Amino acid sequence: MNELRAVAERAREAARTLAALPAETKNRALRSMADALEAHKGAILAANREDVEEARARGQTPSLLDRLMLNEARVAAMARGLRDVAELPDPVGEVVEAYERPNGLRVQRVRVPLGVIGMIYEARPNATADAAGLCLKSGNAAILRGGSEALRSNRAIVDALRRALDGAGVPQDAIQLVENPDRALVDEMLQLVGLIDLIIPRGGEGLIQRVRQNAKVPVLAHAKGVCHVYVDADADVEKATKICVNAKVQRPGVCNAMETLLVHERIAPLFLPKAAEALREKGVELRGCPKARALVPDVQPATEADWEAEYLDLVLAIRVVSSPEEALEHIARYGSRHTDAIVTENPQTAQEFLRRVDSSAVMWNASTRFNDGGELGLGAEIGISTTKLHAYGPMGLRELTVPKFLVSGDGHVRE
Amino acid sequence: MNELRAVAERAREAARTLAALPAETKNRALRSMADALEAHKGAILAANREDVEEARARGQTPSLLDRLMLNEARVAAMARGLRDVAELPDPVGEVVEAYERPNGLRVQRVRVPLGVIGMIYEARPNATADAAGLCLKSGNAAILRGGSEALRSNRAIVDALRRALDGAGVPQDAIQLVENPDRALVDEMLQLVGLIDLIIPRGGEGLIQRVRQNAKVPVLAHAKGVCHVYVDADADVEKATKICVNAKVQRPGVCNAMETLLVHERIAPLFLPKAAEALREKGVELRGCPKARALVPDVQPATEADWEAEYLDLVLAIRVVSSPEEALEHIARYGSRHTDAIVTENPQTAQEFLRRVDSSAVMWNASTRFNDGGELGLGAEIGISTTKLHAYGPMGLRELTVPKFLVSGDGHVRE
């Protein structure tokens, strides 16, 4: 506990300096960090090879090995990411509102950093550079706790980043890595109220639930993404097919991929066989309700578990509904407040769906895959939140700040 | 647990309906609620008399009895409060941002209610009507857990409010009172992740800490208000005196009252004797550092505990500092991120102070007492947050909502 508390206290101290840094200093530091990653590429790749060898020896899955592995291109992408963040506008100091009260008091709401942000994440070492960059740009100190499989890689990356800070007039403790692989340390991190202002966990549902269950520090995250596409009676069949294929297969392992397809019964006979063919062509396994199975051959029956499932794989649950209302009911019951879409040419139906679906992003005639900080114009994202507090949806630089009130008077007192 | 879970499930169901209600329906309900308080005034005052008698018999303090007691004027004020909230703009549906992406996707961020809000508060029964009104207007279902001393009063108030909802087309379970006085129920409320979206505790530091320590549901609150006024070397002595007297004595028992006065050593010989006289005239007891004591007779020595104290009383700690920097250090160390003020005619010093003090509201030449939702133009407030997440400072109707993303395309898919 003392080890982690010391880390957090150094972070808090660094955060005070960071909060007051001008944008130019932070941008210079970000560019130095990018340069440092390239300069220390050899050490980073060597450390990563050791991580990958150990993971392979331990029999880790190919998908974990893929996420863990770095190469020249991935290091270059990390560096480019940092340079991109340097180009984004600084959210700190942004005036959100400014007005004068009837008594002459002038009120401003101005963005300030949150303070100290704890990141808890799994195997991907490139998350280390991404998170460090976004925290630094938004004036926050970062405490990084990556997966133990990536410890050597993360250490090499953070080493390079901290060296760059030193030369750029930024306290090194703006970026700290928790190296101790003891899992209990994560639980201790979650207790540091007053020292850590926000925890952002990224990873599988198990990690997120564990963090949520144990945290006393505020947490923003999404536990899972059970995303729906509802193809309405008034849908354009071609658009609907294109959107469904994209939402399911463009990258099936991510949180904003479609997991359940809801189809209005009036369009189902026309749409479903066509969509099923296109999806199967891409290798998607279909599971359906009785009505869907009656329209498409060889569809396995969907059970209750299918409606709740986040497959993260080439599997799709299909349900035929008799009204938009029934689609809304299904989403309210089984959805995860992440991303849901409607395909329709009827603006009334679309507006009603957009208004009533309680998800962080609701799409009309667009793929669920667009719920992403980059795609929605936030510049970069540190995660997606389905907690309805502070940030709902992708979190960019602004979401790592909060407005404080600045009030100016001329000797004003309250009567 | 089952009892409370049932309450929360009914609230969640009501919240779905509430989220879709037009402003007119909610405003009509708020006016009916005000009418109902007046119509059931007799029953409310009778219930309150029983609460007050019991509290008196139990030897409760005069200040608790005062907060507990209702009379005709206080019931009228509750009704007026509800009518005022009906007049405020509806935050739900407010478009926070709207833009088009280079690929033609149209993005809107539109405010939606948080969902279900749990209020945990102490003796004041008027908080019941205030919280119910703000939650309803912002489209949230409210679960109210008032102090056990006020149980009969709260029951009578909530009875009246729910009757009004029934006739106004709003589900009665939009407002529910947890009547069971068992303290364990509060702890159970704090565990209902997924059913309650936000807990707002209001009361003494003990209550807030207990809620923070045990909550798994997100919590917004301020634990205490150790507010500072820093009188700079370049202060106008008259303004400074007026502000200090107002910040300390206008209502000493509230969270935005000044608790510590910091004075620049260059102005202290001129300012402190004058200010001390004005404060003492109002009955304020002074405790000071050695330099302050050298300038003002009969000041008790301040100890470390005084710098940390939230007196909520006519007591003031005074410290002479040798620079604005030292004042900033003191506030960073002992402050509570609530409200701090600078008095100076030097705009550079003021701007530096406003920028660097990390508090929910920072005042320049104005009393700390202005950190209040009404005074800052939020219309009404449900509490003040010093958590640097979601809301920092007073929380009004907007702070009971969050923007979701609405994205419209024309068959857009991600490449």
The span from the CA of B300 to the CA of B312, in Å, is 18
Interface of A with B in 208-227 (CB under 8 A): 212-213, 215-216, 218, 220
CB-CB contact of B112 with B139 (8 Å):
yes
Contact A218, A190 (CB under 8 A): no
- Summarize the confidence of residues A224-245 as an average pLDDT: 97
CATH number attached to the domain at A227-372: 3.40.309.10
Which pLDDT score is estimated for A181?
A: 82
Strands B227-231 vs B339-343: parallel, antiparallel or unpaired:
parallel
- pLDDT value, residue A307: 98
**What is residue B1's predicted lDDT score, i.e. its pLDDT?**
56
Backbone angle region of A379, left / alpha / beta, with phi > 0 → left and psi within -120 to 50 → alpha: left
Percent of chain B with pLDDT over 70: 100
- Record: contact B408-A332, CB cut-off 8 A: no
State the Cα–Cα distance between residues B115 and A223, nearest whole angstrom: 18
Residue A290 structure tokens? 């009785």
- Interface mutation target, options A190, A388, A395, chain B, most CBs of B under 10 Å: A388
What pLDDT does A402 receive? 97
Nearest to B403 among A369, A392, A406 (CB): A392
pLDDT digits (tens, 9 = 90+) for B296-305: 999 999 999 9
Nearest Cα to A211, choosing from A118, A129, A338? A118
> pLDDT tens digits, residue range A242-264?
999 999 999 999 999 999 999 99
pLDDT at A123 over 80: no
Place B205 in a pLDDT band, splitting at 50, 70 and 90.
confident
Residue B403: its pLDDT value, please? 97
Fold designation for B2-220+390-407: Aldehyde Dehydrogenase; Chain A, domain 1 (3.40.605)
- Is A391 within 8 Å of A220 (Cβ atoms)? yes
CB A60 within 8 A of CB A180: no
ipTM of the complex: 0.94
Average pLDDT score over residue span A350-363: 96
Mean pLDDT (chain B) is 95
pLDDT computed for residue A125 by the predictor: 94
The whole-number pLDDT of residue B179 equals 92
Collapsing DSSP to helix, strand or coil, A81 comes out as: helix
Structure confidence by residue, pLDDT tens digits, B44-63? 999 999 999 999 999 999 88
Measure the CA–CA gap between B63 and B66, rounded to whole angstroms: 5
Is the pLDDT confidence value at B369 over 80? yes
Q: Which amino acid is at B349?
A: T
Summarised one tens digit per residue, pLDDT across range A181-200 is 888 889 999 999 889 999 99
Q: A-contacting residues of B 223-282, CB under 8 Å?
A: 236, 238-239, 242-243, 245-247, 250
Which class would CATH give B227-375? alpha beta
CA distance B369 to B247: 6
The 10s digit of each residue's pLDDT in B22-41 is 999 999 999 999 999 999 99
Nearest chain B alpha carbon to A256? B414
- HEC profile for B109-158? EEEEECCEEEEEECCCCHHHHHHHHHHHHCCCEEEEECCHHHHHHHHHHH
Please report the residues numbered 164 through 193 in chain A whose beta carbons come closer than 8 angstroms to any beta carbon of chain B.
Answer: 193
Average pLDDT over residues A73-97: 96
**Per-residue pLDDT tens for B154-202?**
999 999 999 999 889 999 999 999 998 888 889 999 999 889 999 999 9
Q: What is the mean pLDDT of residues A122-148?
A: 95
Residue of B nearest to A237 (CA): B411
Confidence grade of residue B315 (pLDDT, cut at 50, 70, 90): very high
Question: Does residue A1 surpass a pLDDT of 80?
Answer: no
For chain A, give every domain's residue range: 2-220+390-407, 227-372
Residues 147-166 of A with CB under 8 A from B: none
Give the residue-averaged pLDDT of B3-12.
Answer: 95
Q: Which residue of A has its CA nearest to B342?
A: A408
